[in-house]
Chains A and B, each alone.
Chain A
Amino acid sequence: MQRNTFVKALAATALFTSLAGLAQAQAPVDLQFYYPVAVGGPIAKTIDGFAAGFMKENPNIKVTPIYAGTYQETIVKALTAHKSGTPPVTSVLLSTDMFTLIDEDAIVPFDDFAKTAEDKAWMGSFYKAFMANSQTGGKTWGIPFQRSTVVMYWNKELFKEAGLDPNKAPTTWAELKDAATKLTKKDAGGKTTQYGVQIPSSGFPYWLFQTLTTPNDTILANDAGTQVKFDDPKVIEALQFWVDLGKAGIHPPGVVEWGTTPKDFFEKKAAIIYTTTGNLTNIKANAKFDFGVGMIPGNKRKGSPTGGGNFYIFKKSTPAQQEAAFKFAKWVTQPERAAQWSMETGYVAVSQAAYDTPTLKKYGQDFPAALVARDQLPVSVAEFSTHENQRVTKALNDGLQAALTGTKTPAQAMQDAQKEADRILRSYK
């Protein structure tokens, strides 16, 4: 009896599977989409709203947004899924992960899907600064989505107290140093109660370091991501400037935590801070004083790195799925939706067209701070990224922290980091 039942069950299963297979052929295209959340605010709700809106217009595509944690957790999940053969169709991952994803043979370029003139025009509509680390070898591997850049925030009240013009932020290194000196306060015992300027250095100091190397007119990596120049005198000079701020007692000593930097600003422990535009909404909501947002002070030139995430399309999905992913990325980055995304999150809208929409124009008039990041884009550079990205980045981070904590001189730290990076990248030359 048991054997009989077993055979029947087997036959039924086979029949069911083949029927299901038939049904699958007419079923909508499944579009799994991983996304990370790196800033505060109800982002999940916005994303779900986008997915629902897209499905309404494209009933033959079923979008499943999956919140996958931080950027680091998301790439771990996406790459692990890729290695086991079932990656998401598309995912938002750091723009700097491009070389890693190419090396793992995990993604396909967007160019092959852009068939119409309209598609091509869309791909050309993004700010050049954002495309800098979305393209390599003549192909576009990522589409800018939740992009940010580092800007400077300053406390206008403390500026007034220190006798500085609260509406005029420092624009050069010399002015920054001067203002920071005036803004530093000590108590009777000689303990510093308020630092003039604070540039965080935990976790990913290389990104903040780019706010110093870029003004010093030097780029840390080449476009192909195969070479770095950490031991360039201009790079060492930029690090020396950072270290000297600490030595002068106008910047907190040691490694400064990224996560608590906005709170240090709220608590008036730091008068000027460097942090992402992604924190704008947070600071707007929590700062109990009048604050300003300004471009990163320049030296030989102006400039700041971009950051944030791009859309990628994974290789191990069906052509129909990849087409659908292309369509979704295009839909989501249309000007009015990019504008909405920017207002709800504080991220920079990815195209000029988005800033030209009436809604974002009005938002910008009411809250001009939101436009600083955009105005900085023409002088912005790509976030540091190479092949073996995380490993090379770690070599740089370790060097920076060694210099900031005083265990190595800036020159020694950068030469050691250069040596390590050269070793890691030796097979890409």
Chain B
Amino acid sequence: MSTRGSPTVHRGSHTAVQAWLLLLPASLILLAFTHWPVIGTLWHSFQSTPKGGRPPVWVGLENYQVMLDDPVFWKALVNNLWFAGATIPLSIGLALAMALWVNERIAGRTFLRMAYFTPTVLPMIAVANIWLFFYTPQYGLLEQLSGALGFGSHNWLGSPSTALGAVTLVAVWKEAGFFMIFYLAALQSLNPSLREAAAIEGASRWYFFRRVQWPLLMPTTLFVLINCVINAFRMVDHLFVLTRGGPDNASTLLLYHLYEVGFSFWDTGYASALTMVIIVALVGVTLLQFFVLDRKVHYR
């Protein structure tokens, strides 16, 4: 990926200055709004929460100790792992399936593509409000369907066993259409002669997908995967409408817990510590993906 040219020293430094100047505006913004806040958060996470007249004091790792003892944090972490574990494969799988489907020459293709993409365009809060009525006990859409099929009534959002599953499903529904667009673009950029060659060789569709399309889609999959992992920790808007983390924290996620600690409890010290944990986890996962998975990906 890197270029290893050997221009003369003089020209090289000149180009470097120019390059840095061009990068300067973007990097300044990045520094001011991303890197500096991260450092500030790290600093705050070692301090107590200022309250009224009392300024913050250095407390070392106390905020992290509090986290270890916080049952809601552990609950949120476990929930978040389930949430990520379900949304990532489901939304990628669904996106790929939809992309393969609407990539074919079928009637109403444009309409289908648009329909699949619609959830992405809607704001998450609107989506959550729609789903709130899908999940409503007794007369919600889901209830009417299950009632017609002869199943009993169920309070999807109001019972601890199904609340997390219900909010996960909404996230998958919202996300899959977005990732489909990337897969669709990648599929359309594949060389059509590959398909013709496969057809001449008599390869089955499954074989063609497994041996040709899937490997060639790997760069897209990596990109989608990274986005999907980040989204799994970032998407909490719908919780505010659907469950507010309840019942009894059954559907709470890390970022939602962080919001509660930071902006309901106003415990900025502890909230900073929680933020650091999320940042470290996300940066770790991203680095892993870039440096380990990236090597296994076939780029043209």
A-to-B contact residues, CB < 8 Å = 72, 76, 79, 100, 102-106, 189, 191-193, 201-203, 252-257, 259-260, 263-264, 267, 269, 388, 390-391, 394, 397-399, 401-402, 404-405, 407
Contacts and interface: CB of A to CB of B under 8 A. Distances in A.
Interface of B: 51-53, 132-133, 136-139, 147, 150, 152-153, 155, 157-160, 243-244, 246-250, 260, 263-267
A55 to B, nearest CB: 33
A264 B136 CA distance: 9
Nearest to A190: B152
Contacts, number: 94
B138 A264 contact: yes
Given A100-B266, A253-B159, A260-B133, A401 B248 contact: yes
A391 B261 CA distance: 8
A398 B51 contact: no
B136 A255 contact: no
A251 B133 CA distance: 19
A390 B265 contact: yes
Given A254-B158, A256-B158, A390-B264, A397 B133 contact: no
Given A105-B52, A391-B264, 9 more contacts: A103-B51, A202-B243, A255-B158, A259-B132, A390-B264, A391-B265, A398-B246, A401-B248, A405-B159
A264 B133 CA distance: 11
Contacts of A104: 51-52, 266
B138 A255 contact: no
A253 B265 contact: no
Contacts of B250: 405
B174 to A, nearest CB: 20
Contact of A257 (B136, B147, B150, B263): B136
A105 B249 contact: no
Contact of B248 (A106, A257, A398): A398
A226 to B, nearest CB: 15
Nearest to B156: A254
A131 to B, nearest CB: 24
Contacts of A404: 247
Contacts of B150: 189
B51 A202 contact: no
Contacts of B263: 72, 76
Given A72-B264, A398-B249, A203 B244 contact: yes
Contacts of B153: 191-192
10 contacts: A100-B266, A104-B52, A105-B51, A253-B155, A253-B159, A257-B136, A388-B265, A394-B264, A394-B265, A405-B160
A202 B250 CA distance: 12
A328 B246 CA distance: 39
A263 B135 CA distance: 14
A264 B158 CA distance: 15
Contacts of B248: 398-399, 401-402, 405, 407
Nearest to A189: B150
B244 A202 contact: yes
A260 B158 contact: no
B159 A255 contact: yes
A254 B247 contact: yes
Nearest to B147: A191
Contacts of A193: 138
A401 B266 contact: no
Nearest to A192: B153
Nearest to A253: B155
B197 to A, nearest CB: 56
Nearest to A76: B263
A10 to B, nearest CB: 24
Contacts of B267: 391
A255 B155 contact: yes
A255 B265 contact: no
B138 A269 contact: yes
Contact of A255 (B139, B247, B266): B247
Nearest to B69: A423
Contacts of B243: 202
A397 B246 contact: yes
Nearest to A73: B263
A267 B138 CA distance: 10
A394 B260 contact: yes
A256 B139 CA distance: 14
Sorted nearest first, the 5 A-B pairs with minimum C-beta distance are A105-B52, A254-B158, A255-B158, A401-B247, A254-B155
Contacts of A269: 138-139
B244 A267 contact: no
Contacts of A76: 263
Contacts of A79: 266
B51 A260 contact: no
A252 B137 contact: yes
A202 B266 CA distance: 22
Contacts of B133: 260
Contacts of A189: 150
A111 B99 CA distance: 67
Contacts of A397: 246
Nearest to B265: A391
Nearest to B152: A191
Nearest to A264: B138
B138 A402 contact: no
A256 B247 CA distance: 10
Nearest to B246: A401
A111 B159 CA distance: 47
Contacts of A202: 157-158, 243-244, 246-247
